[in-house]
Structure 1
Amino acid sequence: MGVPVEEVLELPVLKSAKVQTPLYERDVEWISVIETPVENFVRNNEFVLSTGVGCGEDITVLETYVEDVIRSDASILAFATGRHLFKIPDRIITLAEQHELVLVEIPWEVRFADILQGVLQLLNEEKQKAHRHVEGIRQELINCVLNGKGLQEITTILYQHTGLPNAISDHLKHIRANQHFDSSLIEALNGRRDVDVALIEDPFDLEHPLTHFIETYQIGEERCYQLTILSNYKKQGYLLFQPEEDEEVTVEMMTILEHTLTACALYFVKENAIEMTEIRLKDNFILDLAKREQRIDKQLLAKAGLLGYDLEKPYVCFVGEVLFHQPISRSEGNDGQLPPSSSLQSRNYYIQKEAAYAGHMVGRQVMTTFDEERVIIFLEADKEGSEEAANQFLDLVERRLFELLAGVTIQWGISCHKDGCQVFHKSCEEAQTALQMGGQQNEAGGRTFFKETRMNRLLMALSHKREIEEIVQDTLQPLIDYDQKRQAELLHTFMVYNKYNSNVSQTSRALNLHRQSLLHRLRNIEQLTGLSLLDADDLFLLELSVRLWLLKKVEKPAPH
């Protein structure tokens, strides 16, 4: 950021100065008074003032001094003539011309302090002008986001003010906006093009804090740069840019890039807020639909339509109990580890995402919400409700979900309500009942349809009768006490024995027990209960008692 040489030399204080060389296209960024030796006290694009003291009488020493200034890449060298140096020798002028250094003679009467004041004031005005220009760009970028415009408009503003081809991607490196940026470089960065990509050191030698955050990529013979868009320390996306030459990038450009990053971060925050609001509205609507019986009238249908749902179709209801053993994900971008504080939110996000994907694959509408540790899904169905479609849908959800999340199992209760349309609350209650009753007999990850729970529902009704409760208590209490005191598994042994229709060989294999050990357990069951496992009535009484006891053990109100 500097002032052109000719503009500096037009200052009133330099009106009497004589320019001895052409006015080369150089800028002035600094001004100083330097006498011999120069060493490293002169910066590039500097206006150097000198009296020539110590070298005016010796042209060789003067030449060495000028060469030192040239090596420092100064823009102007001005000598105060009249005392130590009366005239700049032709040999020195030729040397300056050869290296495009503007050489100026200043009358001795002109004070250096006045020159310094004039040039510094000019540089400060230019700096203020540049600051106002960049501030205007910053405001333009922010207004772009606040006025509802998108990332493409942001890339356009950046290109208009810097000429830098640029592109913006999201955190998954999907390009969201492109302004003259080479798409083949994007393909290479994303690994979709067979070319060597190397991360190299930052080539920009600029005094700007943003330079430390630039990632520089060498892609074959080309080079491009990447900045990460962050918001609340969370990666939102990337800003890519590609100058024709590295020297083209200035401090002012870096400041504009910094403001562009801020605008991009603001855009992503706004986009995420809108998305989260929409998700929250949908979740609340579906949860209310599932938990509260209500009339499906025109007003409710219209509200559903605004959210993208059609309530006049029939739906299968799924209620899933999510068992999440470890907050670990194999998804891209987090190295397989989710912070414990975000595990619930992340888990719900993946479940919702995979439910939507599975619905798309089977060509049916899906509505998903969450009720504490349970997921509630409504899947568009045929009029009579389709078990085959329900299983196909869950197969798709679980196959992809278990690849994304480790340690997750889901127990499902499913209701294909016979009344068809507009029975959301009733279907959800049935699915919860199926989930509750199915959990006793299925292993983790099982599925229970409501119509499969008829026997358990009948038993549940019987289990509340006092006389039956007493019979169950009298029959099983000796086994319960024995199991607790001896850490035995007599009840479990009987359930497996009954499952295999009293087949000793199959039961011993299932329990991984020696045949004699199993027979010993069965004899203990008979002795403790006073029932014979060979008597059909006794076996029925024991089986009925166990099933009623299990139903009472797991019985609990459905969550609201």
Structure 2
Amino acid sequence: MGLSVCDVVHLQVMNNAKVKAGKNVMDHKQVEWVSVIETPVENFVRKNEFVLSTGIGCESDPEQLENFVRDIIKSGASVLAIATGRYIFDIPDRILQMAAEKDFIIIDLPWEVRFADVLQTVMEKITEVRQGERQKADRVRQQLIDCVLQDKGLKEIAHTIYRHIQIPLAITDQTGELRASRKIDEKELQEYVRTENNDLQLKTPLTDVQFSDHPLYYHMKKCTINDESFFELQIINNHKIQGYLLFQPKQKKMLSWFVMNVLEHALTACALYFVKENAIELTEIRLKDNFVLNLAKQKEQVDHQVLSKGKLLGYDLSKPYICLVGDIEIPNREHESKYDHPDKSSSLQSFNYYVQKEITYAGKLFKKRTMTTFDEDLVIIYLEGGDEAYVETVNQFLDTMERRLSELLTGVVLSWGVATEKQNNFAFYEGYEEARTTMEIGIQQHGRGERTFFEDTKINRLLMNISKKSEIASIVKDTIQPLVDYDKKRQTDLIHTFVIYNKYKGNVSQTARALNLHRQSLLHRLRNIESLTHLSLIDSDDSFLLELSIRLWMLKKLE
């Protein structure tokens, strides 16, 4: 592929030229440009260039001519054609020997051959070859796009790329998971992916001798694992990395302009494929999310129609499930950079992705079916039941999920409510109601970051039933309203003060420490409570009435 020095030498304009050195490499050396240069060379010559020179200025100084040729070789040029007969009559053997040692081609061009004719003829040939390669690359581009439009996968895309460039390659997604490969050492590839995932910064931009002037060259990175070199190109769409195209050319010269064009079209095809795949996945996620959310919040019987719809989405609703509801507390703004979103809703969407991923992982680990959905800042999980020791199963499931989640994200607090296992026509709705209520009770009683099981809320559920009686509600209001009004007016928290005081069984010192108050300040608050409620905190009946009223008032807020 491309125009070789051999092709140039066989042009009519070069009929009288003589190859003096490097005959054995003429088929392998590419010509991408042609120019005329005299001393000094400096940085005016680029790689794979066909250089014409008269040797002017070096005619009386063989050492200067040798330095001139040496600079041309260092520049990466493919060939040097010296016009002999005016300034240089014979190319010194020492220079020819140096060229032979460097696999560099030197041509003796008769003085009568005009440089203008050589420039025109060679450039026309370069243009012709480039045009042919461009047309061929365009045909490859169409084939790759057709792979996407005709619903073919990444394996077909990889096969098409390999068929045209004959370079081992692989395609991975953004997580490094191998999606397709052709003729590549997958063992070494996995080592490469492992290195990348472990953030060992072995990948470097290509700063060595340039082997292609294609613009894509500057976006390539190189990594060497166990003496094997991988080249990497990012698959990007809308400024986001979708995956990686990895390839292993046996020789750098294999990365010709045509090959680079094919790789560029391959990146476009892969990006389109991932966009299409993501769109399908997002649609499926939305369908599943809405289906599970309706199961949880709509009191509808799980009839044959619902079972069939669930089956289409990959759910088996005939199994018993345990409902878990989690409250998500998004980290403060100093943590939001981890999600790359400035607002809470965007942060939550990003966080939901990680939660869903870890729920799926934990479900597979414990061989349990899972169904997940999100309702604002709540995560709703239906975990397959059937075990007698379901509490242990749930705890192991949540331990695994939260441990892996904490390794990815910091500062996020999850509070869980767990319902009992149910299997009836309204099991999903009733399970959600139980789990949500249990979670809210747990947050009020124990604070955030705890797990509360429905079976552990018997006293609270008893109190909630009692609170529905109008006479009880009236007693609670008469008892606690003065405290509520005082807290609202003075911006204090006498109700919380009593809860903590009662928690420590009337121990003033422990209560003061827990509330971070001076002992006298706490005593002042306790006297205010007694004054406002007309109850004595040292009287067991009065203290019980106040505790009962506060608990009923707090439970009422959950309804």
Q: Is 1:130 the counterpart of 2:136 in the alignment?
A: no
- Partner residue of 2:213 out of 187, 190, 207: 207
Q: Is 1:242 the counterpart of 2:235 in the alignment?
A: no
Partner of 1:253: 259
Partner of 1:407: 411
1:38-437 to 2 correspondences below 5 Å = 45-46=49-50, 48=52, 72=72, 75=79, 77=81, 91=90, 100-103=105-108, 118-182=121-185, 183-184=187-188, 186-187=190-191, 190-191=194-195, 197=202, 199=204, 201-205=206-210, 206-219=212-225, 221-326=227-332, 336=338, 338-341=340-343, 342-382=346-386, 386-416=390-420, 420=424, 423-437=427-441
Q: Deviations over 1:434-459 (max 9, x none)?
A: 33344332311233344554554454
Q: 1:438 to 1:76 in 2, by over 3 A?
A: closer
Paired with 2:32 and 2:231, the residues of 1 have a C-alpha distance of 27
Are 2:369 and 2:383, in contact at CA under 8 Å, matched by a contact in 1?
yes
Paired with 1:505 and 1:440, the residues of 2 have a C-alpha distance of 24
Paired with 1:287 and 1:210, the residues of 2 have a C-alpha distance of 46
Q: 1:293 to 1:48 in 2, by over 3 A?
A: same
Are 1:329 and 1:404, in contact at CA under 8 Å, matched by a contact in 2?
no
Unaligned segments of structure 2, at least 5 residues: 100-104
CA shift for structure 1 position 351: 1.8
Q: 1:536 to 1:67 in 2, by over 3 A?
A: closer
Paired with 1:70 and 1:542, the residues of 2 have a C-alpha distance of 98
Q: Deviations over 1:262-309 (max 9, x none)?
A: 222223222222222221121111111112223323332222112221
Q: Could you say which structure has the larger radius of gyration?
A: 1
Q: 3-state DSSP class of the match of 1:325?
A: coil
Are 1:151 and 1:267, in contact at CA under 8 Å, matched by a contact in 2?
yes
Paired with 1:107 and 1:328, the residues of 2 have a C-alpha distance of 76
Are 1:93 and 1:103, in contact at CA under 8 Å, matched by a contact in 2?
no
CA shift for structure 1 position 366: 0.9
Are 2:169 and 2:247, in contact at CA under 8 Å, matched by a contact in 1?
yes
Paired with 2:245 and 2:501, the residues of 1 have a C-alpha distance of 66
Q: Which moved more, 1:461-470 or 1:402-411?
A: 461-470
1:487-506 to 2 correspondences below 5 Å = 488-502=492-506
Are 1:66 and 1:92, in contact at CA under 8 Å, matched by a contact in 2?
no
Paired with 2:296 and 2:219, the residues of 1 have a C-alpha distance of 49
Q: 3-state DSSP class of the match of 1:266?
A: helix
CA shift for structure 1 position 190: 2.8
Paired with 1:29 and 1:519, the residues of 2 have a C-alpha distance of 91
Partner of 1:471: 475
Q: 1:123 to 1:401 in 2, by over 3 A?
A: closer
CA shift for structure 1 position 465: 5.5
Paired with 1:141 and 1:355, the residues of 2 have a C-alpha distance of 36
Paired with 2:399 and 2:141, the residues of 1 have a C-alpha distance of 50
Q: Deviations over 1:116-152 (max 9, x none)?
A: 6554433322221111111122222222333333334
CA shift for structure 1 position 310: 0.7
CA shift for structure 1 position 416: 1.3
Q: 1:417 to 1:166 in 2, by over 3 A?
A: closer
Q: 1:112 to 1:493 in 2, by over 3 A?
A: closer
Q: 3-state DSSP class of the match of 1:101?
A: strand
Are 1:48 and 1:74, in contact at CA under 8 Å, matched by a contact in 2?
no
RMSD: 4.3
Q: Deviations over 1:217-264 (max 9, x none)?
A: 344655432222222222223222233333443233222222222222
Read off the aligned partner of 1:130 and give its amino acid letter: E
Paired with 1:234 and 1:145, the residues of 2 have a C-alpha distance of 19
Q: Which moved more, 1:481-490 or 1:288-297?
A: 481-490
Paired with 2:360 and 2:45, the residues of 1 have a C-alpha distance of 65
Read off the aligned partner of 2:131 and give its amino acid letter: Q
Paired with 2:511 and 2:40, the residues of 1 have a C-alpha distance of 98
Paired with 1:523 and 1:513, the residues of 2 have a C-alpha distance of 15
Paired with 2:370 and 2:335, the residues of 1 have a C-alpha distance of 24
Q: 1:432 to 1:68 in 2, by over 3 A?
A: closer
CA shift for structure 1 position 381: 1.3
Q: 3-state DSSP class of the match of 1:539?
A: helix
CA shift for structure 1 position 542: 2.1
Q: Which moved more, 1:317-326 or 1:160-169?
A: 160-169
CA shift for structure 1 position 207: 1.9
Read off the aligned partner of 1:173 and give its amino acid letter: G
Are 2:203 and 2:221, in contact at CA under 8 Å, matched by a contact in 1?
no
Q: 1:180 to 1:412 in 2, by over 3 A?
A: same
Paired with 1:320 and 1:135, the residues of 2 have a C-alpha distance of 53
Q: Deviations over 1:158-206 (max 9, x none)?
A: 333333232333323333333333433651563499x995747522423
CA shift for structure 1 position 368: 0.5
Q: 1:202 to 1:76 in 2, by over 3 A?
A: closer
Identity %, equivalent residues: 46
Q: 3-state DSSP class of the match of 1:244?
A: coil
Paired with 1:549 and 1:233, the residues of 2 have a C-alpha distance of 52
Q: 3-state DSSP class of the match of 2:331?
A: strand
Paired with 1:405 and 1:418, the residues of 2 have a C-alpha distance of 33
Partner of 2:446: 442
- Give the TM-score, by structure 1 length: 0.79
Paired with 2:63 and 2:528, the residues of 1 have a C-alpha distance of 114
Q: Deviations over 1:378-424 (max 9, x none)?
A: 11112889344333433333333334332222232322155556521
Are 2:369 and 2:384, in contact at CA under 8 Å, matched by a contact in 1?
yes
Q: 1:170 to 1:328 in 2, by over 3 A?
A: farther
Q: 3-state DSSP class of the match of 2:383?
A: strand
- Give the TM-score, by structure 2 length: 0.79
Read off the aligned partner of 1:159 and give its amino acid letter: Y
Unaligned segments of structure 1, at least 5 residues: none
Are 1:48 and 1:77, in contact at CA under 8 Å, matched by a contact in 2?
yes
Partner of 1:540: 544
Partner of 2:102: none
